[in-house]
Amino acid sequence: MAGNAKPHERGEWGSRFGFVLAAAGSAIGLGNIWRFPYVTGQNGGAAFLILYLLCVLLLGVPVMVAELTIGRYSRRNPVGAFATIRPGSYWTLVGYLGVLTGVCILSYYTVMAGYSIGYIVKTLINNQTSFESFTANTWLSIPLFLAFMVLTVLVVQGGIKDGIERWAKILMPILLLLLVVLIIRSITLPGAGKGLTFYFKPDFSKVTGKTILAALGQAFFSLSLGMGAMITYGSYLSKRDNIVTSGCYVAFFDTLIAVMAGLLIFPALFAMGLDPSEGPGLVFKVLPKIFASIPGGNVVGAGFFLLLSIAALTSTISLLEVATAFLVDEKHWLRRRAVWIVALVGLCLGLPSVLSQGAVSWLSNLPLPGGDFLGFMDWLFANIMLAVGAFLISVFFAWIWRLNAAAAEILEGYPGFQRFSVVFDILLKFFCPAVILVLLFFLFKGVL
Ligand code: TRP
């Protein structure tokens, strides 16, 4: 059993509930609480929310199930998974792409996560330093970045059941509880009603091609799709588990938390008469103003950043786990060694990102999409590579492996799948690849 796993054994989730929490933990992160509200704010509120829900349902869920199935069938990391299903083919490269993307996202995601722990203390002690001077201060940002990486390592080092699953079971309920408390505070502020209108009453005249693009990109990033994180998490599933319902639970919780994050932020924002389209700084610049103006706001604010840090931690765990699983499975490294080495690579790669937030001026002003080094990494890996990855994964699943073969794996644990298999096949064969190609086309057009 996984609980007594020897250092070089793979391990397995202790229960299905444990898996759902861990995978939801991977999905729920800065993407839900920091990114989702600001993207929704920039794209006009309710109409964006509806498009986002459609993207999750029609593209997110099928790709999620495809990834989990590939993982559970092969019981391997992304590289090993493609090699198991199509030995000796170029498809293994998709696995390598995933491992690389994971480490690269880890490198800058941890920088942002570090800010979030810094803000717990900053808000608690009512420190008024601006976000810009905070991030430009390397005496703060580098140690925070390091600390967050070490925290991630300590969890992943513990393995699947005793590390990742155990911490997800502790952290996720705390996150939900904090979120509920903060929402109650937010919607009872005087004037909160306007925020609810903005968030729930759609105005479709604001929808453009760009809105759809933003919704799709947000869906992949938020569900942790396109780089094999779910292949890896699926590889620790037991054959008794129902992949489809497990995947739906994960997508459901991820979406629920994103929607709740909006419910926390928009009422407060409108109650204070602030602008919802502030952009990436929304959570770090606008929210502190709100916290400063309510009694006991420093404690509420510290609670919020604690929530953000917890959500980020369960996500960095999954980003680190992909490359770790690769080294453990394919290179037969001990888990402990693999984890530290991958983290070290992540730290080196992340250094230019930390320095690009004001500390080093040329890194902060690059003539590239994204504007600064961190922004560029986010553009390249979160926008482009995840879309490319999701495209290749759906093509591989539906055209190369084919549903006939894959369905055997899904049916094990879920005999009822037969009823949905046609719709599922059509979505993965035609709909997902086509929509993603259009997305990529427009992403590049935006740059060129
Ligand atoms: N989904 C996480 C978030 O919303 C980020 C994340 C973790 C991720 N692991 C991933 C994104 C794998 C893409 C792929 O913050």
Exposed e or buried b per residue across 373-393, where buried means at least 16 C-beta atoms within 10 angstroms of its C-beta: bbbbbbbbbbbbbbbbbbbbb
pLDDT at site 9: 66
Q: Which of 373, 304, 344 lies closest to 117, judged by CA?
A: 304
* Ligand 1 neighbourhood includes 381 CB (under 6 angstroms): no
Three-state DSSP state, 87: coil
Summary count for the chain: helices (H), strands (E): 23, 0
2 band by pLDDT with thresholds 50, 70 and 90: very low
What is the total count of domains within the chain? 1
At residue 52, does pLDDT exceed 60? yes
Q: How confident is the model at residue 15 (pLDDT cuts 50, 70, 90)?
A: confident
Report CA(118)–ligand 1 centroid distance (Å): 21
Pocket of ligand 1 contains residue 29 by CB under 6 Å: yes
63 Cβ closer than 6 Å to some ligand 1 atom? no
pLDDT for position 3: 41
Mean pLDDT within 9-30? 88
Whether 4 is covered by a domain: the verdict is no
Radius of gyration of the chain (CA): 21
Per-residue pLDDT at 106: 97
Give the pLDDT confidence score for residue 448 in this predicted structure.
64
Contacts within 8 Å (CB) and 24+ apart, 84-88: 85/400, 85/401, 86/396, 86/400, 86/401
- Higher pLDDT pick, 8 / 113: 113
pLDDT score of 83 more than 70: yes
Distance 381 CA to ligand 1 centre (A): 11
Overall average pLDDT of the 128-134 stretch: 93
**Does 213 reside within a domain?**
yes
Read off the CATH number of the domain in which 147 is found: 1.20.1730
Residue 8 lies in a domain: no
Mutate to test the pocket of ligand 1, among 221, 230, 232 (most ligand atoms within 8 A of CB): 221
Q: Is residue 6 part of a domain?
A: no
Average pLDDT of the chain?
91
- Beta carbon of 116 within 6 Å of any ligand 1 atom: no
Q: Are 44 and 211 in contact (CB under 8 A)?
A: yes
- Residue 256 falls within a domain, yes or no? yes
Q: Give the total residue count for the chain.
A: 448
* Nearest-angstrom CA–CA distance, 327 and 321: 10
Give how far Cα 262 sits from Cα of 31, 178, 393, 414, Å. 12, 14, 30, 34
Query: d(Cα 389, Cα 330) in Å, to the nearest integer?
Result: 21
CB of 377 sitting under 6 A from ligand 1: no
Decide if 55 is inside a domain. yes
In a domain, 2, yes or no: no
| Per-residue DSSP letter, 106 | H
DSSP SS3 for 203: coil
The domain of 147 spans: 16-445
Q: Whose CA is nearest to atom 8 of ligand 1?
A: 224
Amino acid letter at 295? P
Residue range 121-137: average pLDDT? Answer: 94
* Tens-digit pLDDT profile for residues 323-350: 999 999 999 999 999 999 999 999 999 9
219-246 pLDDT tens trace: 999 999 999 999 999 999 988 889 999 9
DSSP state of 129: -
Express each pLDDT in 352-391 by its tens digit: 999 999 999 999 999 998 889 999 999 899 989 999 999 9
Both tokens of 20, joined, read 């759902």
